[in-house]
Structure 1
Amino acid sequence: MVVLQRLISGLTAWALLSPVLATPSPESVPSDVYILLHNHLLGASATGDAALVLTNLQTHDEAVLTCAALGEGLWEPPTTKNASSEIALSYLAYADPSARDSDYWVQQAAAGSCRAITQDGVVYEADCSNKLAALCSNSAGLAVANATDTSSQWQTRVKTGNFTLTGYRDKHSFRFLGIRYAAQPERFTHSTLYSGPTNASALEFSPLCVQPDCNATTCSEDCLFLNIWTPYLPKDGASQSTKLKPVLFWIHGGGFTGGLGSDPTTDGGNMASRGDVVVVTFNYRVSTLGFLALGNNQTNGNYGLGDQVTALDWVRQNIAAFGGDAEKITIMGQSAGGASVRALVASPKAKGKFRSAVPMSGPLGSYPFQSYGDYYSVQESASLFGEAVLSDTNCTGTTDVLKCLRSYDPYELVALPDVASSLVVDGVYLTSPSLNVTAPSGPSIPLLTGFMHDDAASFVPWPSANSTLSSILTSYGIPPLPAILSAFPANSSSNTTLAVFNATSRLATDAAFRCLNLASVLTGARHGVFDPSSTFIYEVDRSYMPPSFNPNPLACDAPVTSAHPSGDPTAAYYKCHGGELLFVFGNLVFNQLPFRDDKDVVFSRYMLDRFASFIRTGDVEPAKAFLEARGFVDEEGEKNVNFTWAKLDLQNPSFARLEWPPASRPFDEKVQCESFGVGLDYYEDGGV
């Protein structure tokens, strides 16, 4: 009789599941689904076990069939315990207190028996008719750059609003790529939110937005798509608000002339998996197609910035179906992406749409970065860039200038000698010439921000043999004032050219990345624009240049030695612009790059864990309970850290010096900043 009841129960479950076996969804299973593993950031060789956690209570036979609907079997617990094979079941209670003391079906040891496991890892024989949650295997491979398996057996479907989207999973996360967030707008008009309906594949990245060095095969004007990585899919996002994950909304850099949301440097899989957040990246229009302003009361620029707001609106409307909490969005970006974060903080169109902000190496200051933080008027931008674009295209004086520009080949348009790439005060997306850090326009914003030790060394050309700091400043139209030359000495008895490069890159880093950013954070925190109880500043002193961006490799790469054939990160080298990204996103192995020493992976764990903690909680230091639940407390990168990254102290400001090991460091370069008129009180003293 028992066997017959189990058979009937199994057949009933099979009948319910069989219509959706080809592409299952959390709704059709039906259950919330987590991907659970201990992600060491070491790649496939040490990833260990991974499991799919089904929270819906069911009998053993129902669990077997539910796992089968996902193309898996019940998970088999390891016979011996070790760090690489254990999955942290205790995390399930941490993530969802309602699941405390839950047990889970696992693979049976012998026919006719049923086994379950507690959150403490104790396996026991259980009554097969009990209703328990379940652990399925996750046999999907580990995605790496340019190599991933999107076969039907790994696919999953998500419904949100009018969208039905088919993505897939790898060992670390569910991946939904190339999701349309806006229909292709007419050229030089703002994007609008795409609401479907659509039944679409989300298995591949979309084309890039048109930019230099691309063609119709790789780029398109129809490029407004986003990508999502998540460790958790709810069966009903609208009713699972207590389980939803904080969201990282990543804005790529590229000088507002290039960039992409599908850069493998910032792939979201490891951040989502280890960081326990949902990651969103996206494309936005760049160059003239994204920022042209003509001063004709019609073409007012900021189309790329408008795309960012449209993408943010899509995320707020739909991210719950992917396990994300729309009320816990952190906007984060590097370089032009960092400048975009600052612009969104200033933008009335973005108010209330995010919780916290992470601008990384956002240029703010001297040539050629003035407009990244001090915005041109529409007329200024038209005069500086728009008129030149019209001249280059022979559209000047035509009866219909816009018609002329819209008929121009887009790939040639972004390759012209002159392009538009500046944010402007258009009266809609930006209404003031800069972010006002002395007058909050809403709740104080938690802030994590900083820069590379040698950010500008990526851009400073190597000086000629006879160059001096004075001659270089003069060539840029900057008066070589005695105070500046004294603050940035270029003296050397052995290598005068290197000494000049040292002084130049240091001055450029201070002028473009350090001084105004520090002054801005201090003033903003004093006046409540930024939340002083949740403001953290850093300088990164260990770097690894991404393959996609390394304009000055002789300066920015760790020197190769016989003992360190991939470079010695403990030797002297410049920590350049973009050198933190592989660490923050945990993507050295994903990009198939070697560890240069035994501290690269340790440092990456530290960086990812701190940035993810800020995204989750507004504090860079992860809660001990979280680290314990995830199994990270005894991992190198946590147990060896004797440093606590403190929030900003307005009376004695300091920042975290991020290297291995990390340390605290007082604000330095004060004399250098003051030498060109940018002290820490610059904004308090009326600076703009």
Structure 2
Amino acid sequence: MLWVLLLGVCLRLASAARLGVVQTEGGLVEGKSVKMSFLFRTVDVFKGVPFADVPGKWEKPKPHPGWSGVLKADTYRDRCLQVTLLQTKTQGSEDCLYLNIFVPQGLKLSQNLPVMVYLFGGAFLLGASNDVSFLGESLYDGKEMADRGDVIVVTVNYRVGTLGFLSSGDARLPGNYALWDQHAAISWVRRNIAAFGGNPDNITIFGQSAGAASVSFQMLSPHSKGLFRRAISQGGVALSPWALQRNPMALTKKIARKVGCWRNDEDQMIACLKMSDPVGLTMAGKIDVLLILGKGVVMDLLEFSPVIDGDFLPDEPSKLFHNAAHIDFMAGVNSMDGHIFAGVDVPSINQKNGNTTVEDVRGLLAGLTKEKGATAVGSAYSVYSSNWGSHPEPELVKKTVADIETDFLFLVPTQIALQLHANNTSGARTFSYLFTMETRIPGFPRWVEAEHAEDLQYLFGKPFSMPLVYFPRHRDLSKYMIAYWTNFARTGDPSKGESRVPAVWPAFTRNHRPYLNINHKISKSSISYDLRSGYVSYWTQTYSRLPSVQGGDKQI
């Protein structure tokens, strides 16, 4: 009995440390300490910490005025005002510039930890720092990643849709308000994270899809100098054809018509927009899915995105990589990142008995390559059908459709960004990956591999926090990803750090292009070279040299 009592006393004395109340520039904040699966391990969770004041409509974020007393940071705050996933109504608030902090603790208070700031995806139209609740837990809950990788994880809200990106293409409505929100959040982290046990000189920003492109824009902006040391883009870069709005005034006029602000005089139109109801403006930015039927491709519906504003983005993204010369960069795509879009553009690819025809493939290419006209369709078709033979298997044709969208929207722009980073680097390292874990989404054909955003569940440790809905192989993959990502945040090299990894991941350089194939069976043989190089060279060399036709504005 005495032995049991002594053990109980020792356990109580040896409980994990916790931060308690933390002093930030705005005031005192208090989070919650959450027990983790390892003995004497907890994570201090701070939810809903303000990093800026309620933003003015189409204005840059302003510093938060602060608060008195202790702010109970124990609930997620509203997402920024946006349309719902089904595009039928709005949700969220204009008071939305908050972030969440996950700090791992052992027996002693954590100090000088690497910091990882996450930017969510959602087509620049929707999303939140605590998005997609699954069995009561946010997809972006940072506890497992923080605990297993011994890093501080921060997740950030930013404006989206009309309120985040509307632009006139000049100083009247400059655009990029969402990028400024992200910049304000990263700046707040740099100024305040030491009080939470983080190292302000070792910040890594990472994101997926529109969040990955945002990471890329943050890297390339001259305003980010000295703000963070490393960056990870998962399924999107600033060079992605959907990531930049090249005709912002046309979109602004379209929104103005929808909310009753159309005027011949642009100044009057903009004045009217500035007085319009934010909810109406947000609904006016919803995707009109009916437009896709019979014409165009789904990419054409993704209209809200950053612009070259002469300020945050002073030039074409491809010309700004000198600004990222000192930032370690890791980027990659999921092997079927384009499948979800391909399934909208060519529905037959997901139908068991659906017949995907040559005309379907050529029609998709015509929609993607509008700026180059009919010549591009023929040349691209010959490249993608070259391994078909005279009687291609229906499954091969369907997979080719998914490959075309993956290459055009994600893989090729990412490879270009990696090459530009490696060419411009000044001591910083570059790493490339391809995520190939088979899909867990039921109902898709057997040939579908890693769908868009499927990497996130593993990176955020869902196989550990929700063990009943995963198998051991999923936990292996999750362990590998958390190790590589947090090692990279700690040292700039995903193979070196506190976490053991199953294979050394070599750096991508100017003349040497290795990549890591990420799935649950990583070994030395998971390192390959020159990812889809024939297709990359087609789009970057052959296609880019074709003359543009009038009215085209897509670039790759």
Q: Shorter-normalised TM-score: what interval?
A: 0.7 to 0.9
Q: Counterpart of 2:513 in structure 1: which amino acid?
A: P
1:674 deviates by: 2.7
1:229 and 1:598 mapped to 2: Cα distance?
26
Matching of residue 386 in structure 1 with residue 236 in structure 2: no
Q: Counterpart of 1:177 in structure 2: which amino acid?
A: K
Name the SS of the counterpart of 2:317 in structure 1: coil
Matching of residue 676 in structure 1 with residue 539 in structure 2: yes
Question: Which residue number corresponds to residue 145 of structure 1?
Answer: none
The partner residue of 2:396 within 499, 515, 522 is 499
The answer to whether the 8 A contact 1:358-1:448 is kept is yes
Question: Which residue number corresponds to residue 135 of structure 2?
Answer: none
Q: How does 1:293-312 map to 2 (within 5 A)?
A: 293-295=167-169, 297-312=171-186
Question: Which residue number corresponds to residue 104 of structure 2?
Answer: 231
Question: Which residue number corresponds to residue 290 of structure 2?
Answer: none
The TM-score normalised by the length of structure 2 is: 0.80
1:338 and 1:296 mapped to 2: Cα distance?
26
Cα separation, partners in 2 of 1:677 and 1:167, compared to 1, 3 Å: closer
Cα separation, partners in 2 of 1:351 and 1:675, compared to 1, 3 Å: same
The TM-score normalised by the length of structure 1 is: 0.66
Q: Counterpart of 1:410 in structure 2: which amino acid?
A: P
Question: Which residue number corresponds to residue 518 of structure 2?
Answer: 658
Question: Which residue number corresponds to residue 339 of structure 2?
Answer: 457
1:649 and 1:234 mapped to 2: Cα distance?
41
Matching of residue 175 in structure 1 with residue 39 in structure 2: no
1:251 and 1:507 mapped to 2: Cα distance?
27
- Residues 54-93 of structure 1: per-residue CA shift (max 9 Å, x gap): xxxxxxxxxxxxxxxxxxxxxxxx99xxxxxxxxxxxxxx
The answer to whether the 8 A contact 1:233-1:323 is kept is no
The partner residue of 1:471 within 354, 363, 367 is 363
1:441 deviates by: 3.4
1:183 and 1:388 mapped to 2: Cα distance?
30
Question: Which residue number corresponds to residue 646 of structure 1?
Answer: 506
Q: How does 1:245-394 map to 2 (within 5 A)?
A: 245-263=113-131, 264-295=138-169, 297-363=171-237, 369-372=240-243, 376=246, 380-383=247-250, 385-394=251-260
Question: Which residue number corresponds to residue 191 of structure 1?
Answer: 61
Q: Counterpart of 2:115 in structure 1: which amino acid?
A: V
1:661 deviates by: 1.7
Question: Which residue number corresponds to residue 108 of structure 1?
Answer: 6
Question: Which residue number corresponds to residue 538 of structure 1?
Answer: 433
1:296 deviates by: 5.8
Name the SS of the counterpart of 1:178 in structure 2: strand
Name the SS of the counterpart of 1:424 in structure 2: coil
1:324 deviates by: 1.1
- The structure having more radius of gyration, on CA atoms, is 1
1:158 deviates by: 1.6
- Residues 42-63 of structure 1: per-residue CA shift (max 9 Å, x gap): xxxxxxxxxxxxxxxxxxxxxx
1:577 and 1:283 mapped to 2: Cα distance?
21
The answer to whether the 8 A contact 1:208-1:260 is kept is yes
1:336 and 1:406 mapped to 2: Cα distance?
26
Question: Which residue number corresponds to residue 25 of structure 2?
Answer: 161
1:115 deviates by: 6.8
The answer to whether the 8 A contact 2:149-2:483 is kept is yes
Structure 2: gaps of 5 or more residues = 37-42, 132-137, 288-302, 349-353, 546-554
Question: Which residue number corresponds to residue 429 of structure 1?
Answer: 312
Question: Which residue number corresponds to residue 511 of structure 1?
Answer: 408
The answer to whether the 8 A contact 1:519-1:679 is kept is no
Q: Counterpart of 1:205 in structure 2: which amino acid?
A: Y
1:681 and 1:530 mapped to 2: Cα distance?
30
Q: Counterpart of 2:120 in structure 1: which amino acid?
A: H
1:575 deviates by: 1.1
Cα separation, partners in 2 of 1:446 and 1:589, compared to 1, 3 Å: same
Question: Which residue number corresponds to residue 488 of structure 1?
Answer: 384
Name the SS of the counterpart of 1:536 in structure 2: strand
Cα separation, partners in 2 of 1:404 and 1:448, compared to 1, 3 Å: same
Question: Which residue number corresponds to residue 564 of structure 1?
Answer: none
1:193 deviates by: 2.2
Question: Which residue number corresponds to residue 89 of structure 1?
Answer: none
The answer to whether the 8 A contact 1:516-1:678 is kept is no
The answer to whether the 8 A contact 2:83-2:286 is kept is no
Cα separation, partners in 2 of 1:447 and 1:681, compared to 1, 3 Å: farther
Give the percent of matched residue pairs that are identical in Structure 1 and Structure 2: 26
1:262 and 1:586 mapped to 2: Cα distance?
15
1:223 and 1:335 mapped to 2: Cα distance?
21
1:360 deviates by: 1.0
Cα separation, partners in 2 of 1:493 and 1:171, compared to 1, 3 Å: farther
Name the SS of the counterpart of 1:204 in structure 2: coil
1:246 and 1:659 mapped to 2: Cα distance?
25
Name the SS of the counterpart of 2:117 in structure 1: strand
The answer to whether the 8 A contact 2:33-2:44 is kept is yes
The answer to whether the 8 A contact 2:324-2:421 is kept is no
Name the SS of the counterpart of 2:57 in structure 1: coil
Q: How does 1:7-46 map to 2 (within 5 A)?
A: none
1:668 and 1:137 mapped to 2: Cα distance?
45
Q: Counterpart of 2:531 in structure 1: which amino acid?
A: D
Name the SS of the counterpart of 2:465 in structure 1: coil
- Residues 400-426 of structure 1: per-residue CA shift (max 9 Å, x gap): 545532443333322226676121122
Cα separation, partners in 2 of 1:115 and 1:460, compared to 1, 3 Å: closer
Q: Give the helix-richer structure, 1 or 2.
A: 2
1:654 deviates by: 1.2
Name the SS of the counterpart of 2:31 in structure 1: strand
The answer to whether the 8 A contact 1:265-1:591 is kept is no
Of residues 652-661 and 272-281 in structure 1, the stretch that sits farther from structure 2 once superposed is 652-661
Q: Counterpart of 1:648 in structure 2: which amino acid?
A: F
Name the SS of the counterpart of 2:338 in structure 1: helix
How many correspondences in the alignment? 495
Question: Which residue number corresponds to residue 575 of structure 1?
Answer: 450
Matching of residue 219 in structure 1 with residue 92 in structure 2: yes
Q: Counterpart of 2:397 in structure 1: which amino acid?
A: V
Cα separation, partners in 2 of 1:297 and 1:646, compared to 1, 3 Å: closer
2:505 and 2:542 mapped to 1: Cα distance?
24
The answer to whether the 8 A contact 2:228-2:327 is kept is no
Cα separation, partners in 2 of 1:592 and 1:678, compared to 1, 3 Å: farther
Name the SS of the counterpart of 1:200 in structure 2: strand
The answer to whether the 8 A contact 1:375-1:434 is kept is no
Q: How does 1:541-580 map to 2 (within 5 A)?
A: 541-543=436-438, 554-555=443-444, 572-580=447-455
1:484 and 1:296 mapped to 2: Cα distance?
36
1:672 and 1:205 mapped to 2: Cα distance?
43
Question: Which residue number corresponds to residue 49 of structure 1?
Answer: none
Name the SS of the counterpart of 1:460 in structure 2: helix
Cα separation, partners in 2 of 1:591 and 1:233, compared to 1, 3 Å: closer
1:326 and 1:313 mapped to 2: Cα distance?
10
The answer to whether the 8 A contact 2:214-2:237 is kept is no
Question: Which residue number corresponds to residue 62 of structure 1?
Answer: none
